[in-house]
Chains A and B, each alone.
Chain A
Amino acid sequence: MIAIAGPNLPIPLLAATGRFAGALKFDPDRETPRADAWLESKFAPWAPPLLEAWAHGEYNDLDEVLFSRADDTSQRLYYYICELQRRGQIGGPEPLILDVCKIPRQASLERTITKLKELAERLGVGAASLQEAIDSSNRQGEQARSQTEAPVCLLAGTAPPDLRLHKVIENCGYAAAGSTLEQGWLEAGDAIDAGEADPFAALGRHLHASTRGPRSFADAREALTHSIAASAAQAVVLWRIEEDEAQCWQLPAERETLEAAGIPSLILTRRDWHARDGAPEEIANFLKKVQT
């Protein structure tokens, strides 16, 4: 079995192996004494509980875990785990890394496709089975676009560890749009071009251009506008955690976008990933005010 730990990874290719186990599961609230001895403080807060679980052998049923170079925590964690295994301090599955390049330049696109093909060869996935998985992914994406009666509140910004903030929104009578960390890692995003003759090139092009992840070169205004339109949001909570050192640079642009959209919004920055800092209450108060 193979699992993932990071964004911008080739979900259809992994599905085509027939042994895809999804994203690594971890308890975001667990104590992390072993991981804390190895990781520095600025790793994204999902890294310590994941490494702690790894060190306790909780992923030993897996053969491989794929990390992403399109996220600094994911890629550095890959090197740490390789080293800890080399030194015999942890065991578990074999760590792999996919060199996803995001620079909008031909050389970066070509490298992404090349690395995708190398991964496919390693995992024994051919073009026909990948094409089938891409078609299936696109169909699932269509079906997933559900309609809701309730007004929608978009939870944008940092992906939360689980549904704890979504539930706050739902308890206020809204449908919550926006992904958790795990959902974000697993979502394929927009449909992959099924018309391209080479499915590896199609998937590589899709990963390279994806607007998700901290290394996306997408315009922040356009990305937020697109998310608001796609979810038909009537309110937006833009929530970013203390450790978010990438997308926080887009905050002024996002603030302008929200003002221009004329949608009620709540901007919370430098927050606790575990939402133990009063964020749920602030979100609830905001949505109650919007309703009145």
Chain B
Amino acid sequence: MPGKYHIETKEVPPRFNAVGRFGIIDLYETCARGCRNCVKKKCIYDIHKKEFDFAHSLDRPTEFMNECMNCLMCVQNCTRGALTRTQNPEYTWLGNEYWKPAIIAGIWKMAATAKLPVSGAGYGGPFSGPGFDSMWTDMSEIVRPTRDGIHGREYISTSVDIGGLPSNLEFSPGGELLGEESPVIELPVPFILEVPPLGQISKNVLEAMARAARGMDTLFALDAEDAEEFAAEFAGWLAPRVKNSAIENHAALIKSVRMVCLEDSPDALDAVACVKAINPGAVVRIRLALGDGVEARVVELVEAGAEAIQLSADINGDIAYSDGRVEFIKDAFRRIHSLLVDKCVRDRATLIADGGIAMAEHLAKIIICGADCASLGIPFLVAMECRMCGACSRGVECPVNMSEVPPEDGAWRVMNLAAAWRNQLLEVLGAMGIREARRLRGEFGRAMFCEDLERDTFQKIFAGA
């Protein structure tokens, strides 16, 4: 039996202090000065002392420390009531309406420590919500195939395959396999890294992601021109995004990699043939933007032999249709997956989800909705401390200087985040009693959708439906 897959991690503190949610404000004029009961000395987390030392160090005079644990003990016990807690406005400016501040702050923590988020008290968020928040994963109470999956004896695999599987094998009378074997890449994690569509993508950032892809034995999709630069060291883990017109220009690069990425176009299948002519062992991914008519095109491509298809929504997971409808990526995947199952061609191609995957739970949920794996860019950029503030797109200086990310530390932070996400995926798989990520794909029955539950419960009772 092969050894258990494991993502190496290393604690890497941030270059810039993370933006904290709350701040303790000291109303200094109210302070009694010299009070022997000063609550700051009694903080069990020693935050006030650390903050004092931090504020008086010459290294980072313009930052805040932001490590308050929010217990309110100092605020509530100060003799003069001189302390108060407020929301940090900078925190509320992080991200956007989808990439909420809590998501970004959570990624930063995981990227620094590799620990999966654990906390006390019950869940404090909304009952349900749009997008991925409208589904829950199921669990098994007593009867379950996996025993002690996460803490003990049985191994839960997160491996997935990229590539097409033939629906049947044909053999000659002499027992020889007929036809060509399709290339399949086995990735130990259900995601590939991808250059995100936003942010300051410096050479250092690209190198960090390439290093992380190698460290985790997954793939990193980046423009072929950039890939050329890193091919010497990382070719086995690069998936160059090649323009149809430039395939011949990158022939040497294509020969050296395991996967090549193309954009969909009317002549996409011809382009695939060109790539295969150069490197028959490479899996070719075709990327389609989700939207009008994409289902029919996916079926057409799969039936014509496409082996890996990436379906992209926008960064928030939304898909805009020409009639004004907006659909979320999970719903599109459920539909397309089901369609391919109905056509009996689902296993002929790998479906890769792109867009709106911001948390580990989203990864599990998109797989349940029919994706084989996901392509992730923004989470790893945020792992390297991007604040999604848009400064770079406005031509303003990046507040965290992404061009100076040390590639090695950046790679560790990417791997830390990936490890934390993988561990969370194991938690979900373990709770469901499912032993491998491959089997999670399209398991709608192991999820519970809010609309179904509302219909079967409250709508039935209160609207008589």
- Asked if A pairs with B, the answer is no
Residues in A lying within 8 Å of B, measured CB to CB:
none
